[in-house]
Structure 1
Amino acid sequence: MRTLIGQIESSLGSGAYYLSLFAALAIPDIAGALSSDDGEATGKKYIEWYERWVRPRFAEVVRASIPEHARQFVKDMESPLTGDACYRFRCSLLHQGSSQHPKSPYARIIFIEPGTTTNVIHYGQLNDALCIDLNLFCREVISGARLWLDSAEKTELFQKNYEKFARRHVGGLAPYISGVPVVG
């Protein structure tokens, strides 16, 4: 799991933004499954995991960017991208290649590529579209995933489900293939 997270970071750094976004959107599914009794992903698990581990990261980053003496005046700040809206976007993007979901609260969700403007638009609503900074969104997911991993990876439930997780095996995966790296 940490390798996957590291590869999302690498893809961001290399400009592979489709890969970064697709992988980041899959993290709540994977984490929700790894934390569940049956080891399977569902929309409900995705939404709950996103709400607990990703959505709060936005407020933390914003508060950290505000001078300490002014932080007391900033309250009740949350990302407008709810777990449900993120799940719907994930479904439309990963399954249809679309940035529009018929049941989304937004007509379209737009991710702005890093370095294309000096302005940062992160969770800004423009008419009926939600504009999100792609780099910041992926980093919020990464941050949430790392926090979750720190608390989950030593649990018995995680360990049981992680046995089935597709991992990189440098020397192969016996008895199937040996001597070459595989993912499986």
Structure 2
Amino acid sequence: MPTKSPLHPLLDEINRAAQAGLPFLAVTMTVTLPDICVSLASEDGRSNRDRYKNWCANHLGEGFSFLTPDDLYSIRCGVVHNGRFGDLQHNVERVIFALPDGNSFQNCQIGDAYFYSVVDFCRNFTGAVDAWFETNKDATIVQQNLPKLMQYRVGGFAPYIGGATVLA
């Protein structure tokens, strides 16, 4: 049986939040996933605008065909820093997410608006991250950066705490 990715708990929590009607949490974490991937794959362990956009261009594919990497970066910055979907000036001007109890949309554009069901958006995005990790998990730099990844530490995080599972 294959070992689960160290990203699995985060990706699982994102999808569970989306399904449980917690779209703010789900979407906010989802749009930060390219930052996490490029940080794992970068010599300096950091993300930046160009790395984020390159990751999106290379790994998101057809499931996000109406959004450019510039749109995605604008959405990420707007959501994380301003609580809005960014200053969309590229392919779309508005983003609309259908909630779990509403209509279902996947990668739709109507006029200047981009529509996606929050559950499908998160599931498709986390699927792309899973695929990226599976391809890159054995890269030396990814292996070097994995211990720095925020993750559950079962049994504690020595030398700071023992016994209890913590997030560190």
- When the two structures are superposed, what TM-score results if normalisation uses the length of structure 2? 0.87
> Do the aligned partners of 2:66 and 2:91 also contact (CA within 8 Å) in 1?
no
Pick one of 11, 18, 23 that aligns with 1:17: 23
Deviation at 1:101, TM superposition (A): 1.2
Kept in 1, the 8 Å contact 2:19–2:100? The answer is: no
* Cα pair 2:68 2:91 within 8 Å, conserved: no
Give the conservation status (yes or no) of the 8 Å contact 1:11–1:20: yes
* Residue of structure 2 in register with 1:73 after alignment: none
Alignment: residue pair count? 162
**Aligned counterpart, 2:40:** 34
SS in 2 for 1:140: helix
Specify the alignment match of 2:3 in structure 1.
Answer: none
Match of 1:98 in 2: 84
1:71: which partner in 2? none
Runs of 4+ deviating beyond 6 Å: none
RMSD: 1.7
**Which runs of 5 or more structure 2 residues have no equivalent in the other structure?**
1-6
- Output the amino acid matched with 1:83: P
Of 142, 151, 158 in structure 2, the residue corresponding to residue 174 of structure 1 is: 158
**Corresponding residue to 2:143 among 159, 162, 167:** 159
Give unmatched runs, 5+ long, in structure 1. 59-77
Residue of structure 2 equivalent to 1:5: 11
Helix, strand or coil for the counterpart of 2:96? Answer: strand
Q: CA deviation at 1:12?
A: 2.3
Distance 1:12 1:135 in 2: 5
Q: Distance in 2 between matches of 1:140 and 1:27?
A: 12
The one-letter code matched in structure 1 to 2:52 is Y
What residue number does 2:68 align with?
82
Larger Rg: 1
Cα separation, partners in 2 of 1:40 and 1:112, compared to 1, 3 Å: same
Decide whether aligned partners of structure 1 residues 145 and 102 sit closer, same or farther in structure 2, where only a CA change above 3 A counts: closer
Q: Deviation string for 1:122-175 (max 9, x for gaps)?
A: 333334322222122111111111111111111111001112111111211111
Q: Does 1:125 align with 2:109?
A: yes
State the identity %: 28
